[in-house]
Amino acid sequence: MMNEADFRNRADEALDELCEALNVAGEDHGFEADMNAGALSVEFDKGGKFVVSPNLPVRQLWVSANVKSYKLDWDEASEVFRLAATAQTLKEMMAEAISTHLKKTVEL
């Protein structure tokens, strides 16, 4: 398991990168991303909110989206956070969740 400092750095970097991608896509699709106290929230103009937050004790990123909970682990080989069940990266998983919520394809 990676140490606390490495996890914090990787999580911060992943969330910052995701936030930038979400803000670009949000302009065209009616949602806004915002970082607050280390967590990333995505709020939709027509209702709904997703949250992405680091869980330090287990070294995972946790996502709450579409009344589901997702837990992503760091993949050392590809240096990204991945959802074990589908092998999706954080960006891929979020793009799919947002697309499902909006009922249209959103790319990040």
Supply the pLDDT for residue 81.
98
Please state the rounded mean pLDDT for residues 79-89: 97
pLDDT averaged over every residue in the chain: 96
Instruction: Kindly report the number of other CB atoms within 10 A of residue 93's CB atom.
Output: 23
pLDDT in tens, 15-24: 999 999 999 9
Domain boundaries, the chain: 4-102
Q: Is the pLDDT of residue 86 over 90?
A: yes
pLDDT in tens, 43-83: 999 999 999 999 999 999 999 999 999 999 999 999 999 99
On whether the 4-102 domain is CATH 2.40.50.140, my answer is no
Q: Is the pLDDT of residue 1 over 80?
A: no
What does the DSSP assignment read for 31-91?
EEEEEETTEEEEEETTS-EEEEEEEGGGTEEEEEETTEEEEEEEETTTTEEEETTT--BHH
Handedness of CA 22, 78, 103, 67 (dihedral sign): negative
In percent, how much of the chain has pLDDT > 90?
A: 96
Residues in the chain: 108
